[in-house]
Amino acid sequence: LDEARIASKVQHRNVVPVLDVVTTGEEVILVQEYVHGAPLQWLLRSTQQTRAQMPVNIAVSIGCQVLAGLHATHETVDELGQPMEIVHRDVSPQNVMIAMDGTARLLDFGVAKAIMAAHVTREGTYKGKLAYSAPEQLRGAATRQSDVYSLSVLLWELLVGQRMHRSKSGAELVDTVLNGTPPTIREALSTERVWDSLSAADRRQLQVLDPIVRKGLAVDTRQRWATAADMEEALAEAARPATPSAVAAWLKTAGKDFIDRRDGLIAAEEASWRKVHPVGSGRSSAVAALNSSINLRLPGVVSGERGVGHSDIYLRRSPKVLIAVLCTVIAMLGLGVVFLARDTSPQATPAVTSPVRRVASPIPTAAVVRPPAAAAPTPPRAVAPVIDTQDQEIEEEKLRPVRHSPAEAREKPVRRPRFTAVRAPEPEAPPAPPADTQPAAGTRATNDCTTPYYFQGSKKIFKPACL
C-alpha cells in the first residue's frame, strides 16, 4: 500500500507509474503501466555471457535517464506542496526497464521510504540489495544520496560489462562497501584483458567518466554528488549520451531473444482471447468496448479506509445488462442532440423588429408614353396609412416584463402583426394626346380597353386610360 501511495505521486517519463490498486481479501495487487522492452538485468547478463561490450554512449544514456527519474522522485511534493522526501533504496538492474522506444524506466518502489509512508523502518534496520547499497544505507540511514551511490554501482557495471562485487559472501560484501574499496574502471577492464582491445576513443571516454563514477561511489556523503541532477549533468558533459533511437536500435539486437519470447507470449494471449471473443461479433465487441471504458482508471491513489482507497467499481454483469446500459447511454445522447438543436433553432429566439407597413402599388408591365411637358401630371393625393389596432397591442406587450420560463417562451406561438394593404388612388386621365399622336387611320382610338393599345405607324402605343 505504501508503494502504491509513493509511486502514484511520481510523474516522470523515466518512472513507471502505478495506475490502480486491487485488494482481494488479504492480497494487494498493484496495476502498473506495461513497458514493452527488456529488463536491464537481462541485458547486462546477456552481454556478460557473449562477452560483448556495451557502447559507452548507450551506457551513459541509460545512466542519465535513470538519474533524471531519481531526481524527479527525490523532488516530489504532496498536494499541499510539502516535500515527500522519497528515497527509492532499491536502484538496481532488476528495477530498470529499457523500453522499445529507447527510454529507461525506473520501477518497484516496494522498499521506498517517504515521510507519508504508513510503515516506519526501525532505526538501524537495512532494506535493499547489498551489492547496490550505500554505506549509510547499510547502517539504516538512507538518504537521496544513497540512490546516487546505487546508480553509480549500476553505471560502473554497464561500462565494465561485469558485476562490481562477484563471488563475495555477505560479510565480505559489507566490508567492501563500508570501506569503499571498489576497483576503478580501467583496473577492472585490464584484469579481463579488455582494455587493450578497446578503441582509442572509448578509452578516452572511459578515463573521463571514471572520476565521475568514483565520486558517486564515495563513502563520505560530503564528497559524493549532492543530487542526481548534478551527476546527470556531469555525465552528459563528459560523454555525449546516445539518442533514444540509438538505444532502441541497440536493444533490438542485444535483447532480441527476450523480446521475441515476450512477443510470442503476447500473441498467444491474444489468440486465446479471440477464441473466446471472436473479432467481428457485434455483441462481444460492444460488451468489450463498454467494459474497457468502464474499467479505465485515473492515475493516482487516494487515501481511504484501508490505507489506500480505490474505486472497486468493476462491472461484473451479464452481457444483457451491459447492452441495456449502452442503449440507455445512446438514447440519452440522442435526446440531448434533439434538445440542443431545438434550442439553437431560429424560431426559438425571434428577433424583435418594428412592423413594416406595406402599401400595394401597381407594377407596370410595359412602357408608358408620357404626356407632353406642357401638361404636367397632377400629383397624387396623400394617403394616410391605415394602422391596425392590433399593432398597438403588440407594441404594449413588448414592454411588459416576461414572466414565463424560456421553455414556455419556445412553446408559446409567436403573434405576428397583421398588415392592411392600402389601395393606391386611381390615376387621373392625362390630357388627350396632340394631333400628331392620334391613332392612324384604320386603328381603333376609342377608350375601349378590349385592345389596350393602338399603332402609330409601326410603333405600338398603350392607352393611358387602360393602364
**Residues labelled catalytic:** 90
216, with CB counted inside 10 A (0-12, 13-18, 19+), is buried
Q: How far is residue 154's CA from residue 177's CA, in Å, rounded to a whole number?
A: 14
- Answer yes or no: are the C-beta atoms of 67 and 231 closer than 8 Å: yes
The C-alpha atoms of residue 412 and residue 405 are separated, in whole angstroms, by 11
Q: d(Cα 22, Cα 30) in Å, to the nearest integer?
A: 6
Rounded Cα distance between 44 and 56, Å, is: 14
319 phi and psi, to 5 degrees?
A: -60, -30
* Burial classification of residue 313, based on how many CB atoms lie within 10 Å of its CB (0-12 exposed, 13-18 middle, 19 or more buried): exposed
